[in-house]
């Protein structure tokens, strides 16, 4: 091998470091449903062809209560769970498995849905970590050491209502805040649920300063989503009252699609595709709204189709191409044609929980789909609109309602729905 002079060696060293950092960031799963927020792995992730019968356990950490998903950024795993009665962020070094820091965000909230703990998946943006408690405490922390940078409170600062599981109160006011804020550029969008024109708020992500606020809806459980649909850049928010479309720059209401259900159990992450937006509720079914823009800048919407046979409860589906894959009302994996709403196929035999509590999390891997069932089984199948083709299945954990993270061939998940559980790291592809 050719000898390098000191300067050349130094340059080569820093290029190696830069490449390593770039590759580490490329494999991040830094927020709800991954780097793009749609459940897809990055293109550079190795294609998963099958599932190992007994995946290697790379990490096992006791988990406190809660449903918040783990996230991965750099060489760190960030956990959000109940630690000694507080919803707490913990930063874990993936090499040493040491706890680097932990920071309490808020007191825990308890209801009948599971162990008390956070339900809102945190997210990393640059060197900042953003977390929301069940009660609506939004904090921005320094991801390197957990230091508080700024905070806002949905109740105190925006007039939201939080009652808990009492009476007929709907949405997040009943079961806590579940929908993670959306960070886009220098802005943070959040479904705060304030009744004084502060249902949806836009903040400066660096300072927490309010940029705009809009509407009076109670918050549902879904996160806000920004997408170009029907030729117009829109911010979609699935609230207790239905699906809203706002202008991202100033919060002006573009249109509203009413959806009314007994407890405002509106959970699925909105999906934009070409000219339509997809939402669902177990009562009203899977719904597609079509939007179109006029020369004067106005935006119109109409119901494109509605399918109760493909109604999705609280398990967010994924889109691959022109088809939607998710969990139907009969505890069945389903594939739906987005153009027509027609169910292409249905497959039972993987979910054994009661239909009203059935859950599965989905990760799109190019032409493969990885599902985590609520009883802790991983199922790999083809993203094939013509038929269901299983490629592998393996039991990996106990009962769970939490979406996993996936980075560098390792899936990070948690169990402990009704009793204490663990966070796991499981190697699904050969280690590099």
Degrees to nearest 5, angle at CA 153 with 149 and 158 = 130
- Which residues have CB under 8 Å from 10's CB, separation 6+? none
Cα separation of 352 and 219, whole Å? 30
Q: Is the pLDDT of residue 25 over 60?
A: no
Mean pLDDT, to the nearest integer, of 246-255?
A: 97
Structure tokens at 21: 């950092």
Share of the chain above pLDDT 90, in %: 84
Q: Is the pLDDT of residue 227 over 90?
A: yes
Reported pTM: 0.92
Structure tokens at 425: 């790291």
> pLDDT digits over 260-271, tens only?
998 999 999 999
The band of 22, judged by pLDDT with boundaries at 50, 70 and 90, is very low
Q: Is 338 helix (H, G, I), strand (E, B) or coil?
A: coil
> pLDDT digits over 275-334, tens only?
999 999 999 999 999 988 777 778 888 999 999 999 999 999 999 999 999 999 999 999
For 285-319, letters b (16+ CB in 10 Å) and e give: bbbbbbbebeeeeebebeebbebebbbbbbbbbbb
Phi, psi of 123 (to 5 degrees): -150, 155
Q: Is the pLDDT of residue 340 over 60?
A: yes
Range in 88-92, 294-298, 361-365, 403-407 with the lowest mean pLDDT: 294-298
Q: Is the pLDDT of residue 5 over 50?
A: no
Range in 15-19, 119-123, 240-244, 276-280 with the lowest mean pLDDT: 15-19
- Which residues have CB under 8 Å from 150's CB, separation 6+? 139, 140, 207, 208
Residue 293: per-residue pLDDT: 78
Q: Is the pLDDT of residue 238 over 60?
A: yes
User: What's the half-sphere exposure (Cβ side, CA atoms, 13 Å) at 249?
Assistant: 2
Mean pLDDT, to the nearest integer, of 419-430?
A: 94
Mean pLDDT, to the nearest integer, of 89-96?
A: 97
Query: Rounded to 10 degrees, what is the CA torsion of 388, 392, 393, 394?
Result: -170
> pLDDT digits over 36-73, tens only?
999 999 988 878 999 999 999 999 999 999 999 999 99
- DSSP percent split of the chain into helix, strand, coil, nearest 5: 10, 45, 50
Q: Is the pLDDT of residue 233 over 70?
A: yes
Structure tokens at 333: 């994996």
Mean pLDDT, to the nearest integer, of 342-354?
A: 97
The band of 430, judged by pLDDT with boundaries at 50, 70 and 90, is confident
Structure tokens at 150: 């700024």
The band of 432, judged by pLDDT with boundaries at 50, 70 and 90, is low
The band of 3, judged by pLDDT with boundaries at 50, 70 and 90, is very low
> pLDDT digits over 97-156, tens only?
999 999 999 999 999 888 999 999 999 999 999 999 999 999 999 999 999 999 999 999
Q: Is the pLDDT of residue 26 over 80?
A: no
Residue 198: per-residue pLDDT: 98
The band of 431, judged by pLDDT with boundaries at 50, 70 and 90, is low
- Residue, of 9 and 197, whose pLDDT is higher: 197
Residue 209: per-residue pLDDT: 98
Q: Is the pLDDT of residue 23 over 80?
A: no
Residue 298: per-residue pLDDT: 81
Structure tokens at 336: 């739906």
Q: Is the pLDDT of residue 18 over 70?
A: no
Share the mean pLDDT of the chain.
Answer: 92
Share of the chain above pLDDT 70, in %: 94
Cα separation of 432 and 411, whole Å? 15
Contact status, residue 118 vs residue 68, Cβ threshold 8 Å: yes
Residue 294: per-residue pLDDT: 79
């Amino acid at each position: 091998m050719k000898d390098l002079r000191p300067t050349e060696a130094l340059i080569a060293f820093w290029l190696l470091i830069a490449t390593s950092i770039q590759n580490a960031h490329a494999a991040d799963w830094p927020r709800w449903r991954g780097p793009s927020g749609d459940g897809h792995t990055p293109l550079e992730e190795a294609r998963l062809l099958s599932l190992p019968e007994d995946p290697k356990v790379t990490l096992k950490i006791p988990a406190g209560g809660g449903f918040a998903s783990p996230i991965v950024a750099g060489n760190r795993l960030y956990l959000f769970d109940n630690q000694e009665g507080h919803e707490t962020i913990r930063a874990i070094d993936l090499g040493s498995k040491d706890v680097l820091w932990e920071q309490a965000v808020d007191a825990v909230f308890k209801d009948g849905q599971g162990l008390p703990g956070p339900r809102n998946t945190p997210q990393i943006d640059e060197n900042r970590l953003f977390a929301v408690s069940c009660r609506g405490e939004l904090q921005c922390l320094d991801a390197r050491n957990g230091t508080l940078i700024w905070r806002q409170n949905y109740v105190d600062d925006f007039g939201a209502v939080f009652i808990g599981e009492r009476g007929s109160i709907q949405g997040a006011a009943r079961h806590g805040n579940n929908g993670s804020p959306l960070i886009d550029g220098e802005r943070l969008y959040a479904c705060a649920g304030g009744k004084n024109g502060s249902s949806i708020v836009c903040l400066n992500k660096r300072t927490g300063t309010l940029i705009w606020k809009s509407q009076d809806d109670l918050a549902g459980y879904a996160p806000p989503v920004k997408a170009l649909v029907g030729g117009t850049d829109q911010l979609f928010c699935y609230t207790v009252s239905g699906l809203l479309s706002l202008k991202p720059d100033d919060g002006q209401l573009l249109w509203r699609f009413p959806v009314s259900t007994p407890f405002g159990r509106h959970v699925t992450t909105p999906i934009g595709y070409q000219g339509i937006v997809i939402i669902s509720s177990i009562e009203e079914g899977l719904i597609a709204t079509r939007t179109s823009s006029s020369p004067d800048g106005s935006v119109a919407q109409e119901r494109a189709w509605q399918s109760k046979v493909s109604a999705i409860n609280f398990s967010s589906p994924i889109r691959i191409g022109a088809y939607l894959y998710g969990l139907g009302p009969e505890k069945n994996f389903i594939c739906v044609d987005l153009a027509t709403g027609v169910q292409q196929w249905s497959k039972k035999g993987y979910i054994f929980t009661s239909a009203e509590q059935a859950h599965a999390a989905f990760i799109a891997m190019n032409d493969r789909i990885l599902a985590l069932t609520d009883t802790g089984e991983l199922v790999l199948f083809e993203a094939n609109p013509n038929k269901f083709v299983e490629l592998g299945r393996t039991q990996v954990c106990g009962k769970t309602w939490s979406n996993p993270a996936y980075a560098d061939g390792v899936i990070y998940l948690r169990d402990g729905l009704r009793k204490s559980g663990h966070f796991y790291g499981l190697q699904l592809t050969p280690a590099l």
